[in-house]
Amino acid sequence: MEKIEQGFVVDRLTDSILNTISGDSFQTEISTLKKSDINHLLQNDGWKFDWKTEFNDMTREVYKLTIVNNPDIIQGLISVYRETDHVFINLLENAPFNIGKKKLYEGVPGNLVAYACKLSFQIGFEGFVAFTAKSKLIKHYEDTLGAYHFKNQRMIIPTEAAKNLVIKYFKTS
């Protein structure tokens, strides 16, 4: 199985997502991507990855990030699968309108990575998450996510860093 190099940039770690124009903060929710969502995720609409293929791969779990009370507009997507002792992020993508200098919301990638960590804790993997990074972003992931560079381009988010991300994004009582 080919490992896709992740090129997402963690623009800001927030407790939700932040509108870049108004500065307002919006609470988010993460839910399973549905078949009815796929038609809105076409590459000719600006999405970089083939989410239909990802969705149809039965070894993957695909989740969407939306703003609470606005479930029809997808802010970002993540695809993960379960290894024997960790969750592996196969793909992560910001919605096209959340990329670049004119992005609408900040905090989407951090939110999605935190969800992968939360999932890892729920499964019993102690928060461990791994992904393959583009070489030029390895230091960025170390600095922003607390991930460590394992070997080649493999990054691992260990328990403590995962716990910090989960606490930041998901208010737990």
The half-sphere exposure of 42 on its side-chain side, counting CA atoms within 13 A, is 5
pLDDT per residue as tens, the chain (173 positions): 566 777 677 777 777 899 999 999 999 999 999 999 998 887 778 899 999 999 999 999 999 999 999 988 999 999 999 999 999 999 999 999 999 889 999 999 999 999 999 999 999 999 999 999 988 999 999 999 999 998 889 999 999 999 999 998 886 54
Q: What is the pTM of this model?
A: 0.92
φ/ψ of 54, rounded to 5, equals -60, -45
> What's the CATH fold of domain 17-169?
Aminopeptidase (3.40.630)
Q: What is the 3-state secondary structure (H, E, C) of 124-164?
A: CCCCCEEEEECHHHHHHHHHHHCCEEEECCEEEECHHHHHH
Give the domain ranges of the chain. 17-169
